Amino acid sequence: MRWATRAGVHIDRAACAWLIRTHIDPDAEFLFVDDRTAVPADATPFDMRGAELGHHRGDCSFETILRRYELHDPVLWKIAEIVHEADLADERYDAPEGPGFDVILRGLSMTCDDERVIALSGPLFDGLYEYQRRTVLLNRTPG
């Protein structure tokens, strides 16, 4: 399937792309567009104004996708809290990792194009998933 989002990828879009590829569509192909009218008819838009998979009811796009695809994995919801705080910093959650992720992704977007940001941030989210998975399993900070 084809998926479209705004060019100039940052935390929420990078996390959504990782989520789509790892949990929804392993063969996902991503398009980066400058304007929402540029989304092709066969592509599913995400993290764009007017898209179902965007910010709604105070949720960031990552949370919206989790709800829409009924992904109930508690590890993904823990990551959602971090992405939410990195993206919106509205203190809905206690996620001190958020500001750090915000800086890392902003820096990457300054030196890399969108394809590369997605490629580089993938392993970062894989690692974050594993860390949070162990946290949930052990019920404490993993060593």
Partner 1 sequence: MDRVQDTGQWVLLSYRIPREPSQPRIAVWRKLERLGVARLGDGLIALPAGDRTREQLDWVAEEVVDNGGTAMIWIASPGDLAQEQAVVDGMRTARAAEYRAVIEQAATVPADEAEGTRLVRRLRGELRRITDRDYFPPPERETARIAVQDLAERHITVGERA
Footprint of partner 1 on residues 75-94 (CB under 8 A)?
88-90
Task: Establish if 54 lies at the interface with partner 1 (CB under 8 A).
Answer: yes
Using a 10 angstrom Cβ sphere, with 0-12 exposed, 13-18 middle and 19 or more buried, the burial of residue 115 is: exposed
49 is a contact residue toward partner 1 (CB under 8 A): yes
Where does the chain have alpha helices with state H? 11-19, 61-68, 74-88, 97-111, 114-138
- The reply to whether 10 sits near partner 1 by the rule CB under 8 A is yes
Residue 8 within binding range of partner 1, rule CB under 8 A: yes
Q: Is 55 in the site for partner 1 (CB under 8 A)?
A: yes
State the minimum distance, in angstroms, from the CB of residue 55 to partner 1.
5
- What part of residues 103-122 is at the interface with partner 1 (CB under 8 A)? none
Q: Is 50 in the site for partner 1 (CB under 8 A)?
A: yes
Q: According to the binding rule CB under 8 A, does residue 56 interact with partner 1?
A: yes
Size of site (CB under 8 A) for partner 1: 13
Minimum distance from residue 136 beta carbon to partner 1 (Å): 27
Side by side, the strands of the sheet bearing 2-6 are: 29-33, 2-6, 43-45
- How many CA atoms are closer than 13 Å to the CA of 80, on its beta-carbon side? 20
Residue positions counted in the chain: 143
CA 110 to each of CA 10, 57, 88, 104, 126: distance values in angstroms, whole numbers, following the listed order: 10, 30, 19, 10, 22
Instruction: Provide the minimum distance between the beta carbon of 128 and partner 1 in the complex, in angstroms, as a whole number.
Output: 22
Contact residues for partner 1, defined by CB under 8 A = 8, 10, 49-50, 54-58, 88-90, 99
